[in-house]
Structure 1
Amino acid sequence: MIYFVGPCFAGVVLQFLFYGITSSWVLVAVALIFVQMQSYAESLYMDELSGLYNRRYFNAVLAEKKIASHKSLYGIMMDVNDFKCINDNLGHSTGDKAICTLGNILIRSIPDDGMAIRYAGDEFIVLLSGVDTERVLATMEEINHNLSRFNESGIEPFHLSVSMGYTEFGTEDDAETFLMHMDEKMYEEKRKYHMRKKSAGLENKV
């Protein structure tokens, strides 16, 4: 927003010096309109609960990627394990807190140029541009590491873990196929998670 306010403020000063107060107030009004428009545009792409980007932003990024970018683009899709148990056993307000907590963990875990998105419900996507597979795996490891640190802290009545799968956005892909490939990889890990719980006799525990 500073990119809009700075030039407009300078214009206000010049208008005041050379033309008087009336014209300067016009520029103040224009500056405020620009700020409001920028704020509205940002709100369209943000998820209010998690503080992350939303599905609309995901679609906008892929549309731009399809048209202009030649950099690699990887997507990591994740689903919160046992999220229904958190809601059922601890209440939906605690479930909301779990979503917020995961949002904060993702922001801390991904590279500065990465994008964390709450896609739907307890499903999240991280987009990484201009990276290789090694960087993707390192990011996933960092997410798991920070989740483990949160769980060890015991500051909340719930534990968090996620099942993650990743894929690269192919040259012939669109948003639907990209999502489908990520979803398939993620559910492979989800099945493994449930098999581990079953073999350990922990099927009904969070």
Structure 2
Amino acid sequence: MNIDRKHIFKVILTGLIIGISFRLIAFYITLPISSEYLYNTPFTIVNLLMGGLVGVAFATLFYQYKELKNNNELLSVCASTDDMTGLYNRRTGLSFLEEQLKLLQEKDIKLSVFFIDINNLKIVNDMYGHKEGDELIIIVGNILKESLRRDDFVCRIGGDEFLVVLPYCSLNQSEIVWNRICENINQYNSKKIKPYNLSLSHGAHECKKGETMEEILSFADKKMYEEKNKYRNLSLT
């Protein structure tokens, strides 16, 4: 276990300063004593030391609470995000979609979803290795995140599949978002960073009242695979 000596010194020093300061203030407020009594009696010295120790104890508790809070926040982030891409994970994505479906039932909002899949990832893995395939998934995640509106939500469902939730968005409006994603994909390909072209397939669905989350995902997934079939025999370049 590594001990951070600077951190320990900071806690002790902070506690001593706070504890002794409060003790001195208490002396001046509550005790009508002379300065000679304040600075020369053993009783006063002991009280100042006790104040310092109490201050150290409170400072230690404060820093421990702060560290515990930071650790809990970190655990919360780790539990809700995908390790590879840094996007939200499947569980968080489905939970968000479920919340939006409740709003759809209550307020009759527009709500659309995308199911997105990377084309020819298996070929990339076979030709260039799985490390390259993983990097491709990360690149796609970043492009999706940069292409969406402020209220939109994207998560990695697993493998090379992503779910995009578009609140307050009709099916026609969702195509504007998809076109922006495609433009960013084309812009990335134009830089010739990779020896192959990146492409995506998507299935779009506008959610309707009464549809379950399973039905919605099934509709979007089916449309995505219909589009994906068009890319099966296309070259990577």
| 2:63 pairs with 1:28 | yes
* Offset of residue 193 of structure 1: 3.5
Partner of 1:56: 91
2:222 maps to 184
Aligned position for 1:198? none
**Residue 185 of structure 2 aligns to which amino acid in structure 1?**
L
Query: In the aligned structure 2, how far is the partner of 1:174 from the partner of 1:24?
Result: 52
Pairwise CA distance, 1:89: 0.9
- The number of aligned residues is 186
Deviations 1:149-196 (A, max 9, x none): 1111111223210111111233222321121011112122123334xx
In structure 2, the residue corresponding to 1:20 is in which secondary structure? Answer: helix
TM-score by length of 2: 0.71
Aligned to 2:181: 143
Distance 1:67 1:126 in 2: 17
* Residue 75 (structure 2) pairs with residue 40 (structure 1): yes
Render the CA deviation track for 1:114-158: whole Å, top value 9, x for unaligned: 112111111111111122334311110011111111111111223
Taking the TM superposition and a 5 Å limit, the aligned residue runs for 1:159-174 are 159-174=197-212
Given the alignment, which residue of 194, 197, 202 partners 1:156? 194
1:205 equivalent in alignment to 2:235: yes
For residues 93-108 of structure 1, what are the structure 2 equivalents within 5 Å?
93-108=131-146
Aligned counterpart in structure 1 of residue 168 of structure 2, from 116, 130, 134? 130
Contact (CA 8 Å) 1:44, 1:56: kept in 2 or not?
Answer: no
In structure 2, do the counterparts of structure 1 residues 158 and 193 end up closer, same or farther at CA, with 3 Å as the change threshold? closer
> How far is 1:66 from its partner?
4.0
Deviations 1:80-107 (A, max 9, x none): 1111111111111110111111111111
Q: Contact 2:119 / 2:198 at 8 angstroms: preserved in 1?
A: yes
Consecutive unaligned residues of structure 2, counting only runs of 5 or more, are 1-13, 23-53
Superposed CA RMSD in Å reads: 2.3
Equivalent of 2:117 in 79, 87, 103: 79
Q: CA deviation at 1:67?
A: 4.1
Identity %: 30
Rg (Cα) greater in structure: 2
